Structure 1
Amino acid sequence: MIRLKDLNCTFHVGTPSAKTVIRDLNLTVDAGEFVTIIGSNGAGKTTLFNLISGNLSPTSGSVFIKGVDVTGHPEYKRAGTMGRIFQDPLAGTASNMTLEDNMMITCKKGFKWPVISLNRKTRARFKRQLVKLEMGLESRMKENVSTLSGGQRQALTLLMMVLSNPSIALLDEHTAALDPRNAAIVMDLTTRFISEHRLTTLMITHNMNHAIAYGTRLLMMDAGEIIIDVTGAEKQKLTVPKLLEMFSNVRRKAFENDEVLLVRP
């Protein structure tokens, strides 16, 4: 589904400020895999997503999606294949539009549903989908999205993403800004939707416990490189101390990042 070949990304090339944030990275993600990605600040996690989505172009190397070289394709040309959710709940919806108008945007993308008008039949269809969130949003369709809580907005963004019928989901710390209760609700919806829609998923998280508990494969990044790649039975046996030990063995230093280490299960 995704293949990254000899990928490099350097900012400010040819200047004294040049900084390589992704270096000689190779990665293959098969269809249906759910990959969690952990690493300290500056490890290159979000830059990796920007390269996959087309938000950034690599300095060198290639990006393949479904076997097609999309390295030179801009972000909008890849949008039909993938959906992305950011850490900020405000980023995935239009605040000053109603909930039903936000959902119309999903329809008009044309990935799954044909272009339709906002009529009684359409509203009934939206309500059936919103019921799945179990947040009572089906009765608030004419309210502006700005009236929703962060958890409700992120759940709505997640629903809109899967309804646009992507093959790939890129989740960039999408529960990090939420309180523990709402984060748990959104993660439950995430795992349900990934399973129901058979999405190939990459999820960046700052929570080591989440990285271990969720998904079928775990990657740890450091200084623009993938230094740990664990799957199957090995991943099932992982613990946070074991993961920290693996990091130390590879890098010959302790893992130091308060944001990650202080997160509770």
Structure 2
Amino acid sequence: MMKIRQIFHKWMLQEDLNFLLTNRIPRITLTRFMGWWSQIRHPWVVKSSMAVWRMFSDLDLSDAKHQKFDSLHDCFTRELLPGARVVNPDPAFMTSPCDAIVGACGTISQGQVFQAKGFPYQLQTLLGTSERCQHWPSTLEGGSYLTLRLTSSMYHRFHAPDQVHLQHVTYISGDTWNVNPVALKRVQELFCKNERAVLHMTTQEGVPFLVVPVAAVLVASMRLHAVDVLLNLRYKGPNELPCDATYFKGQEMGWFEHGSTILIFVPPGFACAQGIAPGERIRMGQALLKKPA
């Protein structure tokens, strides 16, 4: 199995092949099929699917709360053993909301951020045309952005990065492009094309910031505890979802059905914590951003 995985990874490192296999496919149809397949509760389906999944990824269930799953969906959205993640208690830091690989990060300049080197996009384009989102580019100008990519084998639940208040959710339907580094270097404004949810939030000090979960191929479904609907490709609205939810630091906010990306946007004064840099693997609860003094 290890040899097969190594051969597969070698093939996937060939960017043209990687892009072809993960994007030049009927993305939405395949994503809907995967949503249906993952819900099948049959031991043969689950066992064979997980065997294939392990063959092509570094799936590690050693810290999962349960070791047996009735469906692939149950494994994708698995909970962890108590204490499997330690949330940094220092109030001077916001913590990572998820397990992830750090992608592009930097300063928001003239409303522009980057998905990869040489591939910029406008924050307003990501946030859409909603009146609720029009003030954010000016509010966040000069601040920082972070891209956190969740792979298929990672823990898929996301948590509050601080003691926060979730005031509103803007849901934006869209495509399901793969969000891996190969696609981010080829598809202009990729995050602005995919399905996403804009979470309007404030810290306990009243500082406004955004968390934007972005769905991807085979995912396109996310659950937020603060709203009573499943946000996916079949969801038809409304797009504006008022919320009034308060979370303590590290409290679970929701999950992806498979794996994707979370974008974080904070106003000026924040700085990346030590060790936070593109390519680094981080865990939920790890110090992510130092808050303004």
TM-score tier (shorter): under 0.3
Larger radius of gyration: 1
TM-score of the two chains, using structure 1 as the length reference: 0.24
TM-score of the two chains, using structure 2 as the length reference: 0.23
Q: Between Structure 1 and Structure 2, which shows a larger proportion of helix residues?
A: 1
